[in-house]
Amino acid sequence: MAMLARRVLCGKTLATNCFKTLRATTSNAHIVRQQIRCFSRGTTLLADRKYSEKHEWVVIDGKIATVGISEFAQDQLGDIVYAQPPEAETDVAQDEEVGALESVKAASELYSPMTGVVTEANKEVIANPALINTAPYEEGKPWWLWKMEVSKPEELDGLMDEKAYKKYLRDSV
């Protein structure tokens, strides 16, 4: 609990105050936020993170992939009130709709960035969906939604790294 509190607090104090001002003054606030975050100590961790065009991120450790939504996606969604990640033992295919996040009145679909079997859904986030909005990217530890054992590790090559994802945000969103 102490760690949790510290993480949330850290995310807020580092980011919220200054970024609120930034967000109000620039239309590309999310890009500015991400650029600034590169200077944080999460940089090395972010380098291992891959992104899908549907704004999910994935980090692979052996066969286990951890999945969450990008800072950009959570910012676009606004206050998340309900999280429905896929349940453990669910077979998921790449780009398949596997769950949803509800940010008041709008249900946004979650897509799996890879193919495999879900091993765990993040109970902490399910119990408190607002945590996703606290996204302490400064520590390189945004909240994850589910973990899965991947069956097609090669799919990772088709995903974007941090730099490519930033370009994707600038160019296509």
Q: Which is nearer to other proteins, 97 or 161 (CB)?
A: 97
- Nearest approach, Cβ of 38 to other proteins (angstroms)? 22
Q: Which residues form the interface with other proteins (CB under 8 A)? A: 53-54, 76-79, 81-82, 84, 97, 100, 102-109, 111, 126-127, 173
Tokens 């980090």 correspond to what residue?
A: 59
- Tell me how far, at minimum, the Cβ of 43 lies from other proteins, in Å: 26
Residue whose pair of structure tokens reads 């102490």 in the numeric block: 2
Decide whether 66 or 74 has the Cβ nearer to other proteins. 74
Least distance in Å: CB of 34 to other proteins? 15
Return d(Cα 159, Cα 14) in angstroms, integer.
Answer: 29
Q: Considering beta carbons, is residue 47 or 130 the nearer one to other proteins? A: 130
- Report which secondary-structure segment, H or E, holds 133: helix 131-134
